[in-house]
Amino acid sequence: MEANGETKKEFVIPGDYIGVAEEFLPGTGAYEENGKIYATLVGNLDLDMSKRSASVISKTNVVPQIKEGDIVYGEVVSVKPQMVYVDLLALDGYADKKLSANTKARIYVSQTDKKYVKTISTEFKNGDIVRARVVDTQGDAIRLSTAEDNLGVIRAVCSVCKKTLEIKNGKLECSYCSSKETRKIASDYLKAKL
Q: Indicate whether 108 and 171 sit together in one domain.
A: yes
For residue 164, give the DSSP letter. Answer: B
Domain housing 23? 7-58
Instruction: Write down the pLDDT at residue 117.
Output: 85
State residue 3's pLDDT score.
Answer: 35
Average pLDDT over residues 107-121: 90
Residues β-bridged to residue 129: 75, 155
Question: Is the pLDDT reported for residue 4 higher than 80?
Answer: no
Q: Average pLDDT, stretch 44-67?
A: 78
User: What's the confidence (pLDDT) of residue 107?
Assistant: 96
The pLDDT of residue 135: 95
pLDDT, position 63: 60
55 and 70 Cβ atoms separated by less than 8 Å: no
Same domain, 105 and 139: yes
Report which listed range, 14-23, 97-106, 122-131, is most confident.
122-131
Number of domains in the chain: 2
Looking at residue 102, which CATH number applies to its domain? 2.40.50.140
Residue 12, burial from CB neighbour count under 10 angstroms (0-12, 13-18, 19+): buried
Same domain, residue pair 17 and 51:
yes
**Residue 67: its pLDDT value, please?**
86
Q: Give per-residue pLDDT as tens, 132-166.
A: 999 998 877 899 999 999 999 999 989 898 889 99
Do 94 and 27 fall into the same domain? no
E strand or H helix that includes residue 22: none
- The mean pLDDT value for 41-49 works out to 82
Q: What is the C-alpha to C-alpha distance for residues 7 and 10, in angstroms, rounded to an integer?
A: 10
Residue 53 and residue 78 share a domain: no
Three-class SS of residue 122? helix
pLDDT for res 191 = 84
pLDDT > 70 in the chain, percent: 86
Closest alpha carbon to 65 in 96, 48, 42, 49: 42
- Give me the pLDDT at residue 100, please: 62
Q: What percent of the chain has pLDDT over 90?
A: 36
* 83 and 16 co-located in one domain: no
Is the pLDDT assigned to residue 175 strictly greater than 60? yes
CA dihedral 136, 141, 142, 145 (to 10 degrees): -90
Indicate if the pLDDT at residue 5 is higher than 50: no
Longest dimension (CA), the chain: 71
Q: What is the mean pLDDT of residues 96-115?
A: 81
